[in-house]
Amino acid sequence: MKRVYEYEDLQLVLEQFLQDKESSDLEFKSARGGFPLSFWETYSSFANTDGGVIVFGIKEKDEQYFLDGLTEEQVRKYEKDFFNRMHSKESVNIALLKENDVRTIKHEDACFLLFYIPRVDRSLRPVYCGLDPYTGTYRRDLDGDYHCSREEVNSMFADANLASPVDGRILENFSKNDLDLDSIKQYRRRFEQWNPDHVWNALPEDKFLEKLNVFRKDRKTGKYGLTYAGLLMFGTYSAIMDENPNFFPDYQEIQDPKDRWVNRICPDGNWESNLFQFYSRTLPILQNFLPKPFQLKGNQRRTETQAHVAVREALTNALVHADYTENASLNIYKYPNKMVFSNPGIMLISIKQYYQGGESICRNKYLQTMFTFLGSAEKAGSGVDKIMRGWEELNWKRPYLVEKKHPNKVVLTLSMESLLDKSIIKVLVEHFGKIIEKLPRHQLLTLAMAYSEEEITNERLQYALGIHRADITKMLSKMCSQKLLDSYGHGRGTKYRVYGINVGLNDTNVGLDSTNVGLDSTNVGLNSTNVGLNSTNVGLNDTNVGLNSDNVRLNDKKRYSQSELRALIVAYCTNWRTADEIALEVGRNPVYIRDRVLPQLSDVIEKMYDIPHHPRQKYRIKQNNEK
């Protein structure tokens, strides 16, 4: 059985197919023993996430990849079997692929079968294998396919039918007594300010609330009552909690992670914690952190810049696009160098469509309407454009959107840093020398981002630099071969760090004046454990197959059982340790240790910082567990 790297130009063949289909996720499956049974699980997960390519004929083992040596006859049989099974409900509920989505590749003495699985529109979700959506629905994360919970499947069904949005649901046994009257009065005053000539201003309160669909009548059933949107927007917190015990909007201003937060807005009993009140309290605080240049519009001073509009749109988007059925809270964070908007749920459009703008599909249409009358929540899809323009006006890094799993969340980061901050360039010059001054702009931006954000991905760079994934793949491969970057992980989960530097800028060390920048000289990159590809290696650049030029992994890596690995880590973490230090001690990949192993040890291991993905995170055994 030959290894993948022995076929020097196979990389180009597979890369071209990925480029043709504009796909970045790849799954290898061995088909030596027959049609892989796990195929339909990956079919489901790709369709329900961002699409991807499945390749028959390559086997993965211990982060190394080997060729099956499939014959043309086998590949033809598998292709025929696939199309027969795809049209059977016992295999999958939706037939997605056409003939041009399946391709046979013969390369020297090896044959491969490639399947392109597209991301499906939210109206077709869930895509599931077998006859039961609750047992056959899968999605994709960095670890591969995972089985969706019943709640996730129900959310997909709800998102598929936005003609009857969830927030328009009429609630049983709720009335106007469950609303906060002060919130309604404050909203009406804001409504009049934004819409001074609107005919609704003359309506009595009950009629006004009906126009907003706070109360409505279901034409099919004749049922009349308070809507879920009305409760979320204007309800008392106790009434909201009766309907949704997971409701917890939370704003935190964090200056120093050791001191946790310095200002917080959350349901603490001192205010009626509905969405209108949360919006009214949080927005002015966020906008107050923005620079206020002296600008005139006509003869009037302009007090609201495009950046102020961007923050208003970002906050509103988080509120109206949130999936309030998820077991997750809505979080807004303000750090010295960025704002983070995190709402529960999954994207109803692709991230590519999000950045293109002009298309808006809202999960909570009634809430969207309520915020529209306050000058927020663009229905025409221009809200994203306003966010982008606002940050461009200040020459700050482009806003960055990601989807996270377990729980499902959409996270928008608005960095308050320049793309090429002078202090970052100074550190890079000190580390690499004058070669930094000769780098092409895209490579310099990549290094600066890798340093300030600690690690970057191909996808992150696509939206930050605005160039094609294939070009970024080549650039990252070249930078790894030049020892400017290190790569960790493989496939879609490949991440890149500045070579020789494991710690980027601490959130608390970066202000708008960018004067507090430093390196922890004791943290040196674990170069010996780097399993990425350099330019001389053969494999998939963006879908990094985890081989180096000598096909050397961690040769001294020993196989441990789960209990043995657990015991080793617990014994080592009597003092604070970084994930890299733990990985080196047990001979494992740092990303694997941080993202997969340590979360499973939360019962005995504690974190130094409560902030997710803190760049200086450390771990130790919980003090009450020490014997």
Determine the residue type at 172: E
User: Fold identical between 417-552 and 554-627?
Assistant: yes
DSSP string, 530-576: -----TTS-S-STT-----TT----TTPPP--HHHHHHHHHHHTTS-
Q: What is the pTM of this model?
A: 0.69
Phi, psi torsion values for 443, nearest 5 degrees? -70, -40
Domain range list for the chain: 4-160, 176-415, 417-552, 554-627
Q: Would you call 366 helix, strand, or coil by DSSP?
A: helix
Q: Averaged over 316-333, what is the pLDDT? A: 93
Kindly report, residue by residue over 562-600, the tens digit of the pLDDT.
788 888 999 999 988 988 889 888 877 777 788 778 888
pLDDT at residue number 550: 32
430, 479 contact by CB (below 8 A) = no
Kindly report, residue by residue over 294-306, the tens digit of the pLDDT.
555 555 555 678 9
Would you say domain 176-415 falls under CATH 3.30.2000.10? no
* Range among 219-223, 339-343, 433-437 with highest mean pLDDT value: 339-343
With bands split at pLDDT 50, 70 and 90, how would you rate the model's confidence at 556?
very low
Find the distance separating the first CA and the last CA of the chain, reported in whole Å. Answer: 50
The label of the residue with tokens 């020297």 reads: 108
pLDDT at residue number 18: 55
Kindly report, residue by residue over 376-418, the tens digit of the pLDDT.
766 545 578 889 888 988 878 889 898 888 889 999 999 988 8
Tokens of 88: 């059977």
pLDDT at residue number 288: 92
Using a pLDDT cut of 70, give the percent of the chain over it: 81
Tokens of 82: 């696939």
pLDDT at residue number 384: 85
Does pLDDT of 352 surpass 70?
Answer: yes
Instruction: Match domain 417-552 to its CATH number in 1.10.10.10, 2.60.120.10, 3.30.565.10, 1.10.10.60.
Output: 1.10.10.10
How do the residues of the chain divide into helix, strand and coil, expressed in percent and rounded to 5?
Answer: 40, 20, 40
CA-to-CA separations, 505 to 92, 136, 424, 433, in angstroms, rounded: 47, 42, 9, 19
Phi, psi torsion values for 613, nearest 5 degrees? 60, 30
Which CATH number does 4-160 carry? 3.30.950.30
pLDDT at residue number 172: 95
Kindly report, residue by residue over 461-493, the tens digit of the pLDDT.
887 777 777 788 889 989 998 999 988 765 556
CATH architecture of 554-627: Orthogonal Bundle (1.10)
